[in-house]
Structures are given as C-alpha cells and as structure tokens.
Amino acid sequence: MEKQEKELTFRDFALSESIIEAVEKCGFTKPTPIQGEVIPHILAGVDVVAQAQTGTGKTAAFGLPSLELILDRPAKAGMLVITPTRELAIQVCEELSRYGRPSGIKTVAVYGGDSAQRQIEAIQRGANVIVATPGRLLDLLESKRLKNYEPSIVVLDEADEMLNMGFLEDVQTIFEFLPEERQTLLFSATLSDPIQRLIRTILKDPMFIKVGSTGFSHQDIEHIFYDLKEHKRENAFFRILLANNPAKAIVFCRTKKDVDDLSITLSKMGFPVRCLHGDIQQSTRQQVTTAFRKGEVKFLIATDVAARGLDISDVTHIFNYQIPFGSEEYVHRAGRTGRAGKKGMAITLGTANELRKIGRMLGPKTNEIKILSVPTAKQMYQIQADAFTDLIAKQTIREGVSDLQEKLMEKVEEGELVSLLLSYLMDKEKLALQEEDKFQNPKGRSKEYTGERRRDDYGSRPRREGFRDRPQRSSFGDKPQKPSFGDKGQKSGFGDRPKRATFGDRPPRKEGFSLGDRPKKPAFSEGRSAKPRAKFGGERKEREGSRR
C-alpha cells in the first residue's frame, strides 16, 4: 500500500515563527493552491506572474513571503503594493498589518480622498509596507513629497482591473521612479494583451503560475440566468430575491442612477440596503463597506467600478441586475462571491436577447449557466409557506407559555387559537401567503409576472359577451328599406330644391352702359382746396405772434 502524501501546512515554508503565529491566529492552517505554488518562488527572490480567481487568498500568497523577506531590511527598502481602488488598498493594508504586527512591521494605506500630509507623516515614521492607489502614489512621487523611496518588492494586485480603469499610463510612469533592482510580482484574474505587454516591460524573466479554475469556471460558484421580459425586470428581481433569500449579497447595476433607483425601491420594501458608486464621498464609502462587512447591511447595490477590489469573504450571492459589458466584468462580478473556499451563487437577470449576448461574451462556457424562469405566483406561495413553517418549527418554547395559553383559552375558542396566532405572525413578518394573490410591487400596482403572456394572466374576470353570443341577424333581404327622398314625411331631397340662378339667368345690363361710363371719383385737388403747408420756421413765428 502506497504511503499517503503529507498535507502541506504553513510551517512547511521557510517563514518566521512570528509570521506563522499571526497566520494561525487568523484561523488559517493550510495554504490555498495559489499560496502553495507562489510562496516558495517569492521566497526564492524571482519575479512572479500569478493568474488566479479573486478570493483564492492572493493577498496572503504575496504578503507572507514578502513580509518575511523585508524583516531585516530598512523601512525605505520595504514593500510597495499597488491596488486599483481605495477600498482594496484599505483591505490589503489591514490584512498585511495583521500578518506583520507581531514582527514589528508597520503598514500604511495611501489613497486619494484623504489627507496626503497625514499619509506622508505616517510613511516618514518608518512604514515598512505602503499600499497605494496609482493616482495618489504618482502625485506624491511627481511632487517629490515622497523622496528617496526604493522598495525592494513591488506588487501589482488586481492588475487587469487596474488597466480596465485606465491606470496603464500611471503605472508605467510610477515604475520610472522605482529602482531597477527590485523583485516585481503581478497578480491578476485574467491576462489580456495589454497586461502581457506590461509584463514584458516591468518584469524580468518572471515565473508564470496559473492555479485552479480561473475566470468563469470557478468550482465554488453556481451560475444562474433568469429569463424575463424587460418591462418586468424590477418585479422579477423582487421575486428572485425572495426566492433565493441570500444571507449577504451584492447587486450590480450599470449606472449610478440605476443604483440609486433600485436602492430607494428596496429600502421602501423594508430591505436593509446601502448603495456604492463613484459620486459617494470617501468617508461614506468606508462606512458603507464597514457596515456591509460586519453584517449590519444585508444588500449592497453597486456599480462595477465602485465594487472593484471588495474583499468580503462571506458574500453568498451576487446579482447582475443588468448584464455586464464584457467577459472580464462578468468574471470580476462573480468573483465577489465563492471566496475563501465558500460556496456562492452568481445570478443574472436578462432577456432572451441578453442571453445571446452573454453567449457571445463567454463562448462555450455559457453551457455552464443554468437557465431558469422567474418564479410564478404559486411557486412564490410555496416558497414563502415553506420558509414560514420552517421558522415556526425551529422556534424554541419559552417559559410561561402555558400560563399565557390558559389566558388565551378563556377569550378564544380552542379551534381558532392556532389560526389567530398564525395570522398574527404573518402580519408581523409581513407575509401574504395567498396562492391567488398577485405580487405587489412597491408602487402599489398589482402586476402578475409569468414567463410568457398567457390568457390566464388577466385574472378571473367575467367572460365578455362575444360575437357568437349575439342573436342571429336577419338576412339582408328581410331588412326594412329606408324611404326615398321623395316619399311623404321625409325631407325633400336635393332634386326637389328650387333651382339656383346661374350667371346666364341674370338680367342684362342697360344698353350702352360700359365700364367707362361709371362716374369718376373726384380727385383730391378737385374735391377740396389744398392749403400749402407752411415751413416749420414760419409756423413757429406765427404761433409766437399769436401768443403775444
């Protein structure tokens, strides 16, 4: 019998005891596949290009060996991590701080929207690790407020997102300020042509590592597409949301206006929801992400740009309220769930035409998407009924219930007690378990959603009188004829009117009369005497003489 291979642990790497203890304190004992492949190469000091799906432990993959390498190096020769967004910069900084704090390593996050002076002061106090966004970092380097900075390790995290956000030129300019002798690490979910050209520019003989299923084919994520009609997207989404009942979800919209509108609608329905997009101030963004991470908010409505870099491990569902613009956006949306070995669901809402667009976008991988119809009224009734009964079945019986039951029996008959209590709970939970009840949208209009437009959708209104229900009409020959115009009792027809005189019937004019015999109109000079108009000067003298 062959001897089983020993399971890999973090203690199998050449890491300091303080770093291993920090990792174990965070609850990690076994490295993920990307960590097991990457850590030995980084410790060996070579450049690395790692391609792996988001949420697979990439921060620890480059963070743990890099912290080990800079333990004995001065602060200015420490580690630089470049991330595409402020949120990701803060998250990576916090995670590296947990790993390096027992070893005395200091970290600082550098990003826009916060005081640059405070960030410079934190760096000058001896920060070993700087986690920065491209815009703020380039501003500090070009303005020479960050002087003599020579990091020995430089990491590009989420490189594909960085390029998608238009930071390619900024990243290239930043590397002009960095020392030639350095170890460069690049982590990305996808490797497009621009990224490969960047790799050839800034890395030296890198080791390429691709671990597990990247991009769309993430084994821990289930992909579902709900086919719907465009004008029923909002109502369909509410049903899908209630049917799946996510513990924590991110809903992606294309525009800021869609984010605001959907957030307002869900809030009116009583869902704990917050929104995230580019117009929100940095302080508010941090409050929103912190509340979502702690579970104070169940739903986060966001645009693609705002949600990039969110590293929250317990997101159970992501919803594509509108389909993304491309395959990379789809991959990064789906990558927000199914993180750290947990299961997740990526649910997309769209029309049949949008399903064809996703087919062109993802190619053969579209076959991995499960296509479902939006739940009908009967299915929603069954889903809510099952959830309601499960809620009651799991309830523990409290002390003093028997006394309260006896008091209720004095006022209510025994047969009605259960029905009354269930009705009370339904009102409290705002449930409407009526199989025939139409789904109520937040605007108060009843709209029944079905996958197709069928006659049953119009409800049980009384049948309208049709053509076949009318009495049989008599034949055309039996129909009474209208009297003609000449018959008695009717108005005279056109032919009975007196004939109108024509031009030829007019009496002739008098003999010898012609147009020239008409009396001429007297001329102006013949009708009245024309008084010559006095000059202005004479008139004025005459008026002045009359006044005297």
The tens digit of pLDDT for each residue in 272-289 reads 899 988 788 877 888 888
- 221-374 maps to CATH 3.40.50.300: yes
pLDDT(477) > 70? no
User: Could you tell me the strand order of the sheet in which 79-82 lies?
Assistant: 107-110, 129-132, 79-82, 153-156, 183-188, 48-51, 207-210
For the ranges 80-94, 146-160, 495-509, the lowest mean pLDDT is seen at 495-509
* Torsion angle (degrees, nearest 10) of CA 464, 467, 471, 476: 150
Q: Are 336 and 51 in contact (CB under 8 A)?
A: no
Strands (E), 53-173: 79-82, 107-110, 129-132, 153-156
Strands 107-110 and 129-132: parallel
Which of 34-38, 161-165, 459-463, 494-498 has the lowest average pLDDT? 459-463
pLDDT digits (tens, 9 = 90+) for 318-360: 999 999 887 777 877 887 887 766 788 999 999 999 988 888 8
Confidence of residue 367 (pLDDT cuts 50, 70, 90): confident
| Backbone φ and ψ of 342, nearest 5° | -95, 155
Mean residue pLDDT of the chain comes to 78
The tokens describing 93, both together, are: 């900084």
Which pLDDT value is given to residue 326?
77
pLDDT of 373 strictly over 60: yes
Instruction: Provide the pLDDT for residue 43.
Output: 94
- 221-374: same fold as 10-210? yes
Question: How much is the pTM?
Answer: 0.58
Least confident of 7-16, 255-264, 507-516: 507-516
Q: State the Cα–Cα distance between residues 444 and 418, nearest whole angstrom.
A: 31
Q: Is the pLDDT of residue 455 over 60?
A: no
Q: What is the pLDDT of residue 181?
A: 92
What pLDDT sits at residue 33? 86
Could you tell me where the DSSP H helices lie in 107-219? 116-124, 134-142, 159-164, 168-177, 193-202
Question: What CATH topology corresponds to 10-210?
Answer: Rossmann fold (3.40.50)
> Where in the chain are the domains?
10-210, 221-374
Nearest to 339 by CA among 52, 110, 81: 52
Residue 163, pLDDT above cutoff 50: yes
Q: What is the pLDDT of residue 532?
A: 54
> CB of 16 within 8 A of CB of 96?
no
pLDDT-wise least confident of 12-26, 207-221, 305-319: 207-221
Which has the minimum average pLDDT: 82-96, 128-142, 201-215? 201-215
In this prediction, residue 377 has a pLDDT band, given cuts at 50, 70 and 90, of confident
Give Dmax over CA atoms of the chain in angstroms.
Answer: 149
What is each CA distance from 44 to 38, 170, 208, in whole angstroms?
A: 10, 29, 14
At 438, is the pLDDT very low, low, confident or very high (cuts 50, 70, 90)? very low
**If you write DSSP's letter for every residue of 279-340 in order, what string do you get?**
TS-HHHHHHHHHHHHHTS-SEEEE-HHHHTT---TT--EEEESS--SSHHHHHHHHTTSS-T
pLDDT tens-place string over residues 51-92: 877 667 888 999 999 999 998 888 777 899 999 888 888 889
Distances (CA, A) of 386 to 30, 245, 306, 381, 397: 39, 12, 36, 9, 20
pLDDT attached to residue 65? 94
State the Rg of the chain over Cα. 42
Q: For 400-414, what is the mean pLDDT?
A: 80
